[in-house]
Amino acid sequence: MFASSTAVNWLEKSPRGICAADRFDSTGDPLSSAYDRLPLNALRVFEAVASRLNFGEAAEALHVTPAAVSQQIRSLEDYLQTPLFRRDGRRVELTPEGAHLLPGVRHGLDALEATLQRLRQERQAGAVNISMLASFLQRWLMPRLADLRTKHPEIDLRLHTSPTVVDFARTDFHAALRFGLGRYGELHAERFLGDWLVAVAAPQVIEKHGPLPDTGDLARYPLLHGDELDWAHWSKGDTRSMSALRGAFIDDSASLLSAALEGLGFGLIRWTLAANEVRAGRIVLASDHVVKHRFAYYFVCPKAYASFPKVAALRAWLIEQGSQFPAPPEPEPRRERASKRARERARG
């Protein structure tokens, strides 16, 4: 009876009222008061300085002044009654006590951040945050989003484009669509789409130069170069004379496709990016030679997020879309291709 009465009296005096985090000892005093005394902000500042061994850089990362950083470190050292850093001019080193403290602080901050992110992700309402390559969004996903809205009107997407791998523990992303080998550590990774590299050009380029031979000499053709596959590796013929082929180099796949659409030359493009333009007739396949890409597209997310209803629905929709995406057309037999070209010339 006494312990219960004491707890009630404390609750009546507390300006916070009761919350689920409050705990009581045998005398009815709140154990959470120990947490109230923890210098959490100072610990965050300590981790920032210890990671950089530079007070100025830590202040810049935390968007505070160096003086504020120094004050927080002093308060933490006073709290622990031990120095954490040894300063010699501009040089900063951890003391043995600081080095002992750092792993525990990092583990605690990581656990706290992961818990907060998990709570944010588990909300039933709100958008699904997803990251991917800009070229993939523009050329493959965007034309299909109307179908997603029709089938899943409850899913709102927040789309982010970047080649950088997502750190799910430190961001609010639910998933990422990644182009790679599927090696994503402990994350849930599911292949939903393969790809190929095809040679393409604008119709007027084909009309002027003809289709590309796949057996060697490409020096007389206006070639566009990218960073996924060079023409020497694409060719099936003698490539000894192809080490210095001329032409513009473009390191962005979407821009390389735009250059081909503008008639600037022949380009090696991923089929996922070029397929719609080929079907529309804005570019054409310049060769029957198709190279299977060693990478594929993967739906990647933390294992805990894979069961979230909206994430699961988006993943299933992407797998369905990927299974319906047609591969590049099969090469026509040489005799049939020659006959077709003759008929086209006769009609022209």
CA distances from 93 to 46, 100, 107 (A): 12, 13, 21
> Quick check: 58 and 72 in contact, CB under 8 A?
no
Burial class, 275, CB count within 10 angstroms (exposed 0-12 / middle 13-18 / buried 19+): buried
Confidence of residue 121 (pLDDT cuts 50, 70, 90): low
Question: What are the helix (H) ranges across 63-202?
Answer: 66-80, 96-121, 134-136, 145-151
Residue 250 C-alpha from the chain's centroid: 22
Q: Helix or strand or coil: residue 40?
A: helix
Does residue 347 register a pLDDT over 70? Answer: no
Where is average pLDDT lowest: 5-19, 231-245, 251-265, 303-317? Answer: 5-19
Report the pLDDT value the prediction gives residue 25, as an integer from 0 to 100: 46
Query: pLDDT tens-digit profile of 122-134?
Result: 655 578 999 999 9
Identify the H or E element spanning 268.
strand 267-270
Burial class, 283, CB count within 10 angstroms (exposed 0-12 / middle 13-18 / buried 19+): buried
For 347, the token pair is 């009609």
- Mean pLDDT computed over every residue of the chain: 84
Residue 200: name the closest of 271, 135, 141 by CA.
Answer: 271
For 3, the token pair is 């312990």
Report the pLDDT value the prediction gives residue 6, as an integer from 0 to 100: 32
**Spatial separation of the C-alpha atoms in residues 83 and 93, rounded to whole Å:** 11
Q: Name all contacts of 154-159 with Cβ < 8 Å and 24+ positions apart.
A: 154/310, 154/313, 155/128, 155/310, 155/313, 155/314, 156/126, 156/127, 156/128, 157/127, 157/128, 157/130, 157/314, 158/127, 158/128, 158/129, 158/130, 159/130, 159/132
Across 22-26, 119-123, 273-277, 309-313, which has the greatest mean pLDDT?
273-277
Does residue 254 register a pLDDT over 90? Answer: yes
Where is average pLDDT lowest: 23-32, 53-62, 155-164, 181-190? Answer: 23-32
Does residue 238 register a pLDDT over 70? Answer: no
For 186, the token pair is 């402990």
Query: pLDDT tens-digit profile of 287-308?
Result: 999 999 999 999 999 998 998 8
Residue 75: φ, ψ to 5°: -65, -35
> Quick check: 199 and 268 in contact, CB under 8 A?
yes
CA distances from 333 to 210, 336, 338 (A): 18, 5, 9
For 175, the token pair is 């998933």
For 84, the token pair is 């954490």
The better pLDDT of the pair 330, 202 is held by: 202
Q: Helix or strand or coil: residue 249?
A: strand
> Quick check: 109 and 169 in contact, CB under 8 A?
no
Q: What is the set of domains in the chain, with CATH numbers? A: 2-36 (no CATH), 40-121 (1.10.10.10), 128-194+296-324 (3.40.190.10), 196-294 (3.40.190.10)
Residues making up the chain, counted from first to last: 348
> Quick check: 7 and 34 in contact, CB under 8 A?
no
Q: Helix or strand or coil: residue 266?
A: strand
Report the pLDDT value the prediction gives residue 83, as an integer from 0 to 100: 95
Global pTM reads 0.65
> Quick check: 267 and 200 in contact, CB under 8 A?
yes
> Quick check: 109 and 47 in contact, CB under 8 A?
yes
Secondary-structure breakdown of the chain: helix, strand, coil percentages, each rounded to the nearest 5: 45, 15, 40
> Quick check: 230 and 205 in contact, CB under 8 A?
no
